[in-house]
Amino acid sequence: MGRESRCGYHGQTGAIGAVDIGRRIISAGGNAEATLAQLEFALKDRGKAEYLNSQLNEFAKNAPIPISQIKQQAAFLAPVFGDQTFKYFKQLGDVVSGSGNIAYNFSQIKSMGRTTGMDLRQFAMQNIPIYQELAKVIGKTEQDVIQLSSEGKITFDMVAKAFKNMTKEGGKYYGAMEAKAHTFQGQWQIISNKMQLIFSKIFIKLQPYLKQFSNWIEKIIDDFDNWWPKVKKIGKTLLWTFAGYQI
């Protein structure tokens, strides 16, 4: 490969890399904006939303969970738990790292004050031993728990205590997040989360310029009918001048 070819190849590769980084910055910044808007809508207070968002960002720096999932879980909790969102999010943290999405079901139970049974079944389907833990909390058998939940007699406080027991020392999920964080996949996810946070910060710095660019593009689109005939006329003139014929 000649020198010119190598320069062209490296230039093309660098351009593609720059475009990809730009895309990642805009994506990360856009997602961060959307999350903050969700939290602000849920908490009805910009300052509280920003504080919760900063807590989640700090949490993500050491969590082997995608930052998008962390924000999604918090967004489910915030409308119901308000100022206590982060407290319950941390309580669910170890369970989240070992299972799927549980915040939505947890919030539903909180909203209703009790469970009708479907929420518990959804927990069980994610391999969370909710029936066993509730049986310990209320001093009944697992079958009793199933029956009581169908009657609406399993309250949110009971469910919350069951989750607390699962994540405290000696519980099934105690230390699950820390253990996952020490795996290669966990470490890689933590690095990814930190990169997302860096991209978000860059987005904030570039936002005024991105806004100017967006306004410029919008103006061009709005003025399309005015400037297009001029461009077309210039194009015809150039073709006639250099190509020797007229369109």
pLDDT in tens, the chain (247 residues): 555 555 554 455 555 566 778 788 888 888 888 999 999 999 999 999 999 999 999 999 999 989 988 888 898 899 999 999 998 888 887 776 545 568 888 998 999 999 988 889 988 888 889 999 999 999 999 999 999 999 999 999 999 999 999 988 888 888 888 888 899 999 999 999 999 999 989 888 887 776 777 777 777 777 777 767 776 677 666 666 666 554 4
* The pLDDT of residue 77: 92
Determine if the pTM surpasses 0.85: no
Q: What is the pLDDT of residue 239?
A: 64
CB 120 within 8 A of CB 130: yes
Phi-psi region of 176 (alpha: psi -120 to 50; beta: other; left: phi over 0): alpha
- CA torsion 65→69→75→77, rounded to 10°? -50
Among 19, 60, 29, 16, CA closest to 205: 29
Three-state SS for the chain is: CCHHHHHHHHHHHHHHHHHHHHHHHHHHHHHHHHHHHHHHHHHCCHHHHHHHHHHHHHHHCCCCCCHHHHHHHHHHHHHHHHHHHHHHHHHHHHHHHHCCCCHHHHHHHHHHCEECCHHHHHHHHCCCCHHHHHHHHHCCCHHHHHHHHHCCCEEHHHHHHHHHHHHCCCCCCCCHHHHHHCCHHHHHHHHHHHHHHHHHHHHHHHHHHHHHHHHHHHHHHHCHHHHHHHHHHHHHHHHHHHHCCCC
Q: Which residues contact 123 (CB under 8 A, 6 or more apart)?
A: 102, 105, 130
